[in-house]
Amino acid sequence: MSEKQLSGQEMLTPLSDQEIDRLEAALEEIPDGLFDTSMLHGLLSCAAVAPTAIQLPWLYDSVFKPPGSPGFVFKEQAHVEAILGLVMRLQNQIIMELDTDLFEPWVFFENSQGQTIVVLQPWCSGFLHGTSFDVEAWSSLFEERPHLVAPILRGAELGEIQSPPLDEETGIELSVLIEEAVPNIRGFFRKQGRWEAS
């Protein structure tokens, strides 16, 4: 039995905690998959502010069929629609948050002790992966406003073994800089007339 098509209003409904867990579970099932929900949020945040529209087949392959992987196995058409519907709704949620100055990167998590910790690397890596779709279009930002991407680059490096350990204070400072940078990146491209509505 096929699931009903989501209405326009439903497509604008933010994901619930249960739906985020469902999306996370799907990402974990991808053979040799790279993405978790934090990294996906970073990629979709990049897509929301990118100077050129990221093509859906490229985005799909990045997440659900990474190099060397046979790809995610959807059980049936309803499963395809359900999982991709969650991704599309998350994209819409990010755009709405940017439009209303409520954007927050998904970098805060609760550990097994119930403490809130900052984990920057997945989100930052996802965002930077998005810039690889059209490196030339992003070059003006890296050249003219390097301070906007600096905290994202720093956060992405935290997954490297040689990277110095991240203390809590530095992590929070970087998360604030990233939160401020993303809408400013969108503003930069819009001001320069390089932004294309998706």
What is the model's pLDDT at position 197?
Answer: 45
DSSP run (H or E) holding 118: strand 116-118
What is the model's pLDDT at position 110?
Answer: 76
Q: 2 lies in a domain?
A: no
Q: 94 lies in a domain?
A: yes
Tokens standing for 47?
């897509």
Q: 76 lies in a domain?
A: yes
What is the model's pLDDT at position 198?
Answer: 44
Residue 66's domain comprises 8-191
pLDDT in tens, 88-129: 999 999 999 999 999 999 998 877 777 788 899 999 999 999
Judged against a pLDDT cut of 80, whether residue 31 lies above it is answered with yes
8-state DSSP, 13: S
Judged against a pLDDT cut of 90, whether residue 147 lies above it is answered with yes
**Helix, strand, coil shares, percent, the chain, to 5:** 60, 5, 35
Contact 54, 47 (CB under 8 A): yes
In the predicted model, what is the mean pLDDT of residues 128-133? 97
Q: 196 lies in a domain?
A: no
Q: 198 lies in a domain?
A: no
Q: 197 lies in a domain?
A: no
Amino acid at the residue 116: T
CATH code of the domain in which 105 resides: 1.20.120.740
In the predicted model, what is the mean pLDDT of residues 170-184? 93
Q: 69 lies in a domain?
A: yes
Question: What's the start-to-end Cα distance of the chain, in Å?
Answer: 32
Domain total for the chain? 1
Backbone angles phi, psi at 195, to 5 degrees: -90, 130
In the predicted model, what is the mean pLDDT of residues 167-183? 89
pTM, entire model: 0.88
pLDDT in tens, 41-84: 999 999 999 999 999 999 999 999 998 888 888 888 888 899 99
Number of helices (H), then strands (E), belonging to the chain: the values are 9, 2
